[in-house]
Chains A and B, each alone.
Chain A
Amino acid sequence: MPDDKTIHLKIKRQDQPDGKSYWEEFELPRKPRANVISCLMDIQMHPITREGKEVTPVVWECNCLEEVCGACTMVINGKVRQACTALVDALPQPIVLEPMSKFPLVRDLHVDRSRMFENLKKVKAWIHIDGTYDIGEGPVIPEKQRAKAYLLSECMTCGCCLEACPQFAKDNDFMGASTFSQVRLFNMHPTGAMEQEERLDAIMGEGGIADCGNAQVCVEVCPKKIPLTESIAEIGRETTLQLLKNLFLK
């Protein structure tokens, strides 16, 4: 039985994208300030299950370990979040680790979130500048507007909002909250706004904003507390206007 000296982990594993998943359990010595990452690192050093079976170390994705890169996102005790900020002392045991279910699985807890980056291409999530040469200062921007943009630009493409979204699925094209929020971010910028029609057009087709079912769970799971539902509402209004413009002016 796990006590205050040990940590009990239950991990969903899968060797290949088309393989079958299976569960393995591990019992580790408890260390001060441990998080899920440090547990997985301990398993790398002692890849032995609770039953004493020697196994391969668990594969997962991580990098910064301070919740700014988004890499180590997984489902922990049923909730999608980053493993680095999942402190062991704050988690009921056994700690259950699963890969995100809405993205193609690579191996164990590692999934492929390329779809999110492809969506950023579709909506032209960038500021189109004339060139990198020194042509002077950028636009004057009110601090209030800057602060609003900053909130949105903290999105680390982690995918929590999409994992939680009932509309987002492996077999559809729904872009999801993170992409819509990026559209809002770039449309807010004085230079970015020059391409706002193209961005809005890109999210008015299939998989676009009209498919949002308004479940509002995205905003609840966002680790950066990005006002995603506010972004969806605002971009929704803008697309409606754009639709009318397209109807009457083109």
Chain B
Amino acid sequence: MRKRKPQYIVIGGGLAGLAATMKLCEDKAKVTLVSYQPVKRSHSVCAQGGINAAIDTKGEGDSPESHFYDTVKGGDFLAHQPLVRDMCYQAPAIIHLMDRLGVAFNRTPEGHLEFRRFGGTLYSRTAFAGSTTGQQLLYALDEQVRRYESEGQVKKLEWHEYLSAVLDSEGICRGAVLHDLRSGEIFTVKGDAVVLATGGPAQVYGKTTGSTVCNGAATTSAYLQGAKYANGEFIQVHPTAIPGQDKLRLMSESARGEGGRIWVSRKQNDNRDPLNIPEEERYYFLEENHPRFGNLVPRDVASREIHDIVYNQKLGIGGQPMVYLDLTHHSEGFLEHRLGGILDIYTKFTGDDPKKVPMKIFPAVHYSMGGIWTDYEDDGNGLIDHKSPRNQMTSIPGLYAAGECDYQFHGANRLGANSLLSCIYTGLMMGPGLIQYSRNLTSHVEEVSSTVFDQARDQWRGRMQAFKQMNGRENPYILHQELGEIMLANVLIVRENSRLAKALTQIDDLEIRFKDLQCPDTTHWSNPAPSMIQQLHCQIQLAKIITKGALIRNEFRGAHYKPEFDLNQPEDFDPHEYVEYNEKRQYGEIREDEFPPGHTSYMKRYEECNEKWLKTTIAEYQNNQPEISFEEVNTSLVQPRPRKYD
């Protein structure tokens, strides 16, 4: 008898989806790869600055262990440590693999990989390919998958939309319901397992740095089918983006990694040409407030400071919500070589040349640390079992997730250049576990009754038909814009419970108005309107997950900033004091005067806060609402401690 080949369905063709596909093909599996568009156009292309790996080519003493520490500290200790550590230890091999695949990483004079600085670390740890690193990595994986496609192992279904998983009578995922975006046909495909690699939910916020396909619908659909959604409230706001009418374009952290300086005039409403503002009248607030990290503090810190400068201190450029990001002290040749691509973007969209004048930037929603809940298996000593089928599996058996749509790696705040890493890492790492999952199956998908698939298909045919026939008064695109406005106004950098509660009511109102939609296009061929309505439905649910999670979590952690619950770290506090405090406590009592005044009480507050809130937020769909509960975080490897970036 011929050996049965395992078969999988991968949804999404960004870095995570392509990495998973490549790895599975290497293990002789067959893969159906589903994407809204040609996979080469996926959102990973937007990542600019680089990818982290502690290869320590500059004798700085960097190591994967330091990378691991920086990552969990950057995430305010909310990530499961064994998995983060595994990722950081795999990172050098991942960079070397991508290099072997032909990625045009910048080189040293000797022809080896070049590395640069990025936020949240003091090491040069970031490999980069010009300033389009994500695009270059994506193309390399796209090429590998194209090779497998030409050999018949991969079947691409581009211009297709994932609607839901097909679950059998035991709740095991056996395939997916897909929607052909041209013919409008709805059908099912069968697989041993389904991998969601569908990226982030940026479109919930409307105008962001995200691409138009980053709508969060696939993961929300899984949530609506019973999967757990985790840490939804942790949304990263990137400090530097270019304001725009259709989207807020990212200005990469690499601009600061290469020495870019953030500043404003010390005078309010200063309308002078920035080049005419003398040095002593410029306020380099990040450098002044953080002498060691300077402009390279983590993103949550930088975004909060810019927000404070603009809204509390009213020092935005000419009174507007913008600050300068200045590279003009570098030579044009240097900037062209190291940052050419992103500076071109700025010029194309604003008409100004950042090599000559400081850029005007403002924070924008950028990344979701949270996502669909996924599992992993470690050996109890902090090492990951790489063959375990539990790795990256959602709470629905047979449904997996990888990349930005999963929640496991970045805790409460992601460090720059760690997302490309986590996407490729999860895609590759989950491969052996998926193969094992197929082997362990007691009944194969071929044995599942066809009625399971027919019912799922028919249910979606009815649903999409109903969306298409909606004939009310509201325009779905306007409703989507309003949803984004609610989220931007209330669930962003600074969070207050009264406004979060108000936002929840507004989202509920929007959900009522959703029922009064009019589908603006009822034709049969290549009609995006019914899909858009289905995505909007998911986004309303996802907005509730994010907002309710934010409302309930009464603390300040990473990107989730509630001034009301700020523990007010004393200015002269050193995080190592807390480590010492803990050690001493293990050996008995601590004298009240052992630590400087105020420090002991701060450390007690910190401890109480962690006791209550150092937990993963879990949202589960019940009665049309997210029910929120909490799960323990694995902090077995590094003692959580207060964050400080001085």
Residues from chain A with a CB closer than 8 A to the CB of B528 are 59
Stretch at the interface among B142-150, B310-318, B408-416, B436-444: B142-150
Residue of B nearest to A37 (CB): B246
Chain A residue at minimal CB-CB distance from B244: A33
| Number of CB contacts from chain A to chain B under 8 A | 185
Distance (whole angstroms) from the CB of B241 to the closest CB of chain A: 10
A191→B337 CA distance, assembly (Å) = 25
The CA-CA distance from A25 to B350 in the complex, in Å, is 27
How far is it, in angstroms, between the C-alpha of A38 and the C-alpha of B249 when the chains are bound? Answer: 13
Across the A-B interface, the 5 shortest Cβ-Cβ residue pairs: A138-B99, A126-B143, A140-B111, A38-B246, A150-B104
Do the beta carbons of B525 and A33 come within 8 Å of each other?
no
In angstroms, Cα B150 to Cα A132, docked, is 18
Complex Cα gap A157–B46 (Å): 15
Per-residue interface assignment for chain B, residues 127 to 147, with 1 indicating a CB less than 8 Å from any chain A CB and 0 otherwise? 001101001100110011011
Q: Which of B221-229, B380-388, B452-460, B475-483 contacts A (4 or more CB under 8 A)?
A: B475-483
- Contact of A45 with B37 in the complex, beta carbons under 8 Å: no
Pick the contact of A56: B99, B111, B478, B523 (CB < 8 A): B523
Bound Cα distance A128, B22 (Å): 12
- A14 vs chain B, min Cβ distance (A): 10
> Is A129 engaged at the interface, CB distance under 8 Å to the other chain?
yes
Is B334 interfacial (CB-CB < 8 Å)? Answer: no
Surface stretch bound by A, among B160-168, B286-294, B341-349, B544-552 = B341-349
Is B502 in contact with chain A by the CB < 8 A criterion?
no
**Do the beta carbons of A68 and B477 come within 8 Å of each other?**
no
A-contact bits for B88-131, CB 8 A (1 contact / 0 none): 00000100110111101111111110100000000000000110
**In the complex with contacts A125-B143, A127-B100, A154-B341, A35-B245 CB distance below 8 A:** yes
Interface size band for B: 35 or more
A117 touches which one: B40, B144, B350, B351 (CB < 8 A)? B40
| B212 contacts A146, C-beta separation under 8 Å | no
What are 17 A-B residue pairs whose CB atoms fall within 8 Å in the complex? A31-B245, A45-B478, A47-B520, A59-B527, A62-B212, A63-B212, A66-B349, A69-B41, A126-B146, A127-B101, A127-B102, A127-B143, A132-B22, A132-B428, A134-B93, A140-B112, A153-B104
Interface flags, A112-146, vs B, CB<8A=1, else 0: 01100100110011111101101111111111001
- Contact status A69-B244, CB under 8 Å: no
**Do A32 and B104 have beta carbons less than 8 Å apart?**
no
What separation, in Å, do the CA atoms of A12 and B147 have in the docked complex?
A: 37
CA gap between A84 and B475 in the complex, in Å: 24
Q: Judging by beta carbons under 8 Å apart, are A16 and B245 in contact? A: no
Q: Are B245 and A38 in contact (CB under 8 A)?
A: yes
Q: Is the interface of A mostly helix, strand, loop or mixed?
A: loop
A192 within 8 A of B: yes
The number of chain A residues with a CB under 8 A from chain B is: 70
Give A157 to B478 CA distance when docked, in angstroms.
32
The yes or no answer to B238 lying at the interface (CB within 8 A) is: no
Do the beta carbons of A153 and B96 come within 8 Å of each other?
no
A57 touches B520 (CB 8 A): yes
Residues of A within 8 A of B130 (CB): 150, 154
Q: A45-B477, A47-B520, A107-B526 are in contact. List 19 more A-B contacts (CB 8 A).
A: A15-B523, A35-B244, A41-B246, A56-B520, A59-B528, A69-B41, A69-B42, A84-B246, A125-B146, A126-B143, A135-B100, A138-B96, A139-B100, A140-B110, A141-B111, A143-B109, A147-B104, A154-B135, A156-B41
Does A244 sit within 8 A of B, measured CB to CB?
no
Contact status B245-A33, CB under 8 Å: yes
Docked complex Cα distance between A71 and B526 (Å): 16
Complex contact B41–A134 (CB within 8 A): no
B32 contacts chain A at the CB level, 8 A cutoff: no
Q: Are B43 and A63 in contact (CB under 8 A)?
A: yes
A126 to B145, CA, bound (A): 9
Within the complex, the shortest CB–CB distance from A124 to chain B, in Å, comes to 8
Return the contact of B26 from the options A62, A132, A140 (Cβ within 8 A): A132
**Residue on B with the closest CB to A63?**
B211
Partner of A68, one of B46, B99, B146: B46
Task: Determine which residue in A121, A136, A153 has the highest number of CB atoms from chain B within 10 A of its CB, and name it.
Answer: A153
CB closest chain-A residue, reference B479: A45
B212 contact set on A, CB distance < 8 A: 62-63, 65
Q: Does A201 contact B (CB under 8 A)?
A: no
Q: Are B26 and A131 in touch, CB under 8 angstroms?
A: yes
On whether the beta carbons of A64 and B521 are closer than 8 Å, the reply is no
Once the chains are docked, how many angstroms separate the CA of A126 from the CA of B527?
34
Q: How far is the CA of A190 from the CA of B512 in the complex (A)?
A: 60
Question: In the complex, how many angstroms separate the beta carbon of A67 from the nearest chain B beta carbon?
Answer: 7
Shortest B517–chain A CB gap in Å is 13
Closest-CB distance, A160 to chain B (whole angstroms): 15
Which one of A46, A64, A87 has the greatest number of beta carbons of chain B within 10 Å? Answer: A64
Known: A57-B529, A121-B150, A136-B96. A191 touches B143 (CB 8 A): no
Taking the complex as formed, is B213 at the interface, i.e. its CB lies under 8 A from any CB of chain A?
A: yes
- A44 to B149, alpha carbons, bound, how many Å? 36
Closest B residue to A83 by beta carbon equals B246
CB distance from A105 to the nearest CB of B (A): 10
Q: How far apart are the CA atoms of A114 and B23 in the complex, in Å?
A: 25
Contact residue among A46, A71, A126, A129 (Cβ-Cβ distance under 8 Å from B37): A71
Query: When the two chains form their complex, are residues A64 and B102 in contact, meaning their CB atoms are under 8 A apart?
Result: no
Residues of B near A114 (CB, < 8 A) are: 38
Q: A117 and B100 in contact (CB under 8 A), knowing A66-B345, A68-B135, A142-B107?
A: no
Is B216's CB within 8 Å of the partner chain A?
Answer: no
* A61 & B99 in contact (Cβ 8 Å cutoff): no
Q: Tell me the A25-84 residues at the B interface (CB within 8 Å).
A: 31-35, 37-38, 41, 44-47, 56-57, 59, 61-71, 84
Complex Cα distance A129/B101, Å? 7
Interface residue? B217 (CB, 8 A): no
Q: How far is the CA of A46 from the CA of B102 in the complex (A)?
A: 46
B247 within 8 A of A: yes
A210 interface hit (Cβ, 8 Å): no
Contacts of A186 in B (CB 8 A): 102
Evaluate contact between B526 and A59: CB separation under 8 angstroms: yes
Query: Contact mask A219-249 → B, CB, 8 Å, 1/0?
Result: 0000000000000000000000000000000
In the complex, chain B residues 344-360 whose Cβ is within 8 Å of any chain A Cβ: 345, 348-351
User: B260-298 vs A: 1/0 string, CB under 8 Å?
Assistant: 000000000000000000000000000000000000000
Answer whether residue B195 sits at the interface, using C-beta atoms and an 8 A cutoff.
no
Is B345 a contact partner of A67 (Cβ separation < 8 A)? yes
Min Cβ gap B332→A in Å is 16
